[in-house]
Structure 1
C-alpha cells in the first residue's frame, strides 16, 4: 500500500468514554437545576409514577434480567444478587413509594441567627448536584439510588456492573417514565452508555463535572475508587465490625446480641467479624458463646488466650483479625478491659461499626467516646447499621470517612448547605 495514500475514511472512531461522560454530565447539570427547584410534590409524583412503571414493565424487566443471567457464568451468592423476580421488582417499587413518605430534605433550615448589624443569616440544606454511583451485581441498587437522588434533588449517573447491563437499562427506562410523567427532565437519572471499564476511570477523574462519587460493591472496586478518585467519595472499603463484651455484660444479652450480630446475615457489611471479650468473664462465658455459634454453623479463629479457654479453636494470625469474613466465621480475642478493646479495634478495624455489651454505663460511654468508627452501638447488634433501621428509609451506601456524611447514607446525607444572608441595605463601609 502507498504510504502516501489517504487513510481509509470508512473507519469510524466513536467517542471516548471521557467524551461520553462529558456529554452526560453536561446534561445532568441542566437536569439537576430543574430538579433542585422542583417542589416536593413534583419529586414525589415522579417517584410514585416510577413505581407504577416498574410494576407495569415487570415482564420487560424480567426478560432483560434473563438475558443478563444467561450471559453470567458465575454462581452462588453473586448470581442470586443479580437475579430479579416479581417479589424483588415489587420491593423496588415499594421502596420508591416509601421514599415519598420521608420528610423533604431540601430547604431545611439547619441554623438561623441575627447579627448586631441587623443581618439575618440562615444555613439551608440544598442538593449536592451531580452524583456518580458505581455499583456491582445487584440491579435493584440502581432503583434505590435513583429514588434517593430524585427526592434529594440530585441528578445521578449510574454505572452498574457489566453483568447487569440489560437489567439496569430496563429499570432506568421505568424511572425515566416516572420523571416524564412529573414533567422533570429524564436526564436527572442516566445510565452509563458503555460497559467499558474506562468509563469508571473517567467518572473518577471528572472533578468539576461530578460532585460526589458513591461506590457500592466489593473491596477491590471500592479500593480502586478511593485510590484513583479526584472527585469527593462517600464509601467504605470493608465492614470489619467488632462486638466487645465487657465484664459487666448480662450473659443472656451477650449471647443474644452476638448470635444476631454474627449469624443473622453473614454476608453484609454490618455483620460482626471479631468478638472481643474481657478476660475477667471469658473463662465462664466464652465456651458458652462458642457453643451457641457452633450450633448455628459458625467456625472460629482465636488468639492464644482464647484457645487456653477453648482449646479446639483454630489459631488466629494478625491477617485473620484484619479480614472481613463475610461468612460464618468469627475471629476471637480476649482483652483486658475497655482500653485494650479500643486498641485492638484501632489496629484492625475499618471505621465501620463497633458494639459494646455492658451494664456499666461509664464503661460504655468510655468505649463510645474512644471509638473512631462511623457507628457505635451499646447493647445492640452491629447489624442495625442500616438506613432503614436508622429511620432513613432506603440507603445509598455506608460511609466511613471523616467528612460530610458517616454511617448509612440516606436523604439528609445527600444534601449539603448554603448560607443565606438577608439584609435591609447594610454596607460594611
Structure 2
C-alpha cells in the first residue's frame, strides 16, 4: 500500500488525510501540537477547570460545500447549527434582520432588504445598484485582483455609510481584511456565492461543540484509519536528488512514498526557503476573540452585527450570559493590554444591549491571533502556489495556496482536497475530491 506523510494537522492537513484515506492510501499525519485543528482549535480555559473554549469563533456558510463534505467524512455534520437570519444592531439597540424570502435567487432577500432599518431608502438604492454591478461583472472583469474592494465600491458610488453598514460587516469578517487592503476579487466572491447564488447559500453554520471535538485526532483516526502523530514537529528533510525520502522529526525520521506540506507559509519557509521564488508576498492579518461572562443574560439573540462598532460581531455562547466578540483584521488591538480590550468591548456592548448595562462583567478572556490568516491583498492570487512543486513527490496544501478562496476553513479544505488529487495522479490513480462552487 502506498504511503503519504502529511506535515501539519490543521484543516488542510485533515482534509488531505481524509481524502487520501478514502482513496486507499496509507496516511501518516504529523502535527507539532498536542491536538489537531491548527488555528481552528479549542483549549481549556486557564484557571477554570474543565471549561473548553474555541480560540476564536469559527463559522461556515452553506456555500462552503467542501468543508461540509469534510465534516460529513468525519461524521460531525450534525454538530453544525445553521441560522437563516443575520441580525444587525444599531447603537441604542434597534434591530434589523436579513433573511431569505419566497422569491428565487438572486431576489430572495428583496423583502427583508427593503425592511432594513439601518439604511436609508437612498442607501438601499446604492447598495442594490452595487449588487447588480457585482453580479454583472463577476467572472467578466479582469482587473479584480489588481484593485481593492474599497476602490471598486467607490467606483460604483457607494457612500461611506453604505460601505460601512452594508458591505463591510460581511466582507471584513469573511476575508479578514479591511476593504482598502482586500482584493476586490475576494469581495466579489463572497457576495456572489453567499448572497446571490442560491436561496440558502448564506445560512450561517455555528458548531454546537468546541472545534477541538470537530477536528480531534481520535475522530480523524476512527473515521479514516489515518495514523495521527501528535507532538511531532518536522525539523528537516531527507533528500535524494529531486525526491524526498523522509521527514525528520525530534522523534526520528518518518518515511513515505509521497509527502504533503500542510504547514503555514512561515514554518514552510524556514524548512524549505528555496521552495518559492518570493515569500515576501505573503503577509498576515490578525483576528481577536474577546470572551465575556456576565452575571445574568444580556441578550436573546444568537449572534449579531454591531453596526458602527470596531468590535463587529458577537456570538451568544451560553444563554446570553457568555458572549464572544469577534474582531477581524484587528490590528488596532495588537498593542492594547487585554484588560483594556475587554473593558472597551464591554463598554461598547452596553451601547447595543440595554441588559448589559445592568449586568456585572464577571470575567473575561482575550485571544489575539496575530497570524490568523494571510492578507488577501491585490496581486496575490497569481502568486499563490499550486499543489505540485519542483520536487517529484512533494505537494502543497494550506489555505494560503492557490485555492481560489480567501483564508477560510473552506479554502483550507479545498487545498487539502487538491493536494490529495495531485497525490492520486502521482500514483497513477486519478481521483476527484474537490466539489465545485455552487454558483
Richer in helix (by share): 1
Q: Which has the larger radius of gyration?
A: 1
Higher normalized contact order (CA 8 Å, seq sep 6+, divided by chain length): 2
TM-score (norm 1): 0.26
TM-score (norm 2): 0.25
Richer in strand (by share): 2
